[in-house]
Amino acid sequence: MNTFLKANCLGAYALALLSLFWALPWGLGPVMQNIALALLAVHVLEAIAAFKYIKTYPGSLLHSLLLTLLFGLLHWLPLARAARAANESSRSVAQENADRG
């Protein structure tokens, strides 16, 4: 499902770029450009709000930021879930150690 949604994001950006050089049918060009701009604006806000998860990406920070600008929560939400699971795991280990000691 995640791949399908990412493909739709890329498709929206591609159609917006294509509409700059070629007229899309039914006057769809300006609509796609507005959709792409709205997606980018929302993803910029997401990048600011979810930066603590974005920087946990195993690759470079720039790569993670670019992926967030393209895909938004489709990129950073799995990172947030992994961070949350790791945090809960370390808490349970710490609790077990406290119970033993």
Count of domains for the chain? 1
Please check whether residue 69 is in contact with residue 44, taking contact to mean a CB–CB distance below 8 angstroms: yes
Identify the pLDDT of residue 70. Answer: 96
Range of 92's domain?
2-100
| Residue 92 burial (CB count, 10 A) | 10
Confidence (pTM):
0.82
Per-residue pLDDT tens for 9-38? 999 999 999 999 999 999 999 999 999 999
50 pLDDT above the threshold of 80:
yes
Q: Residue type for 70, please?
A: L
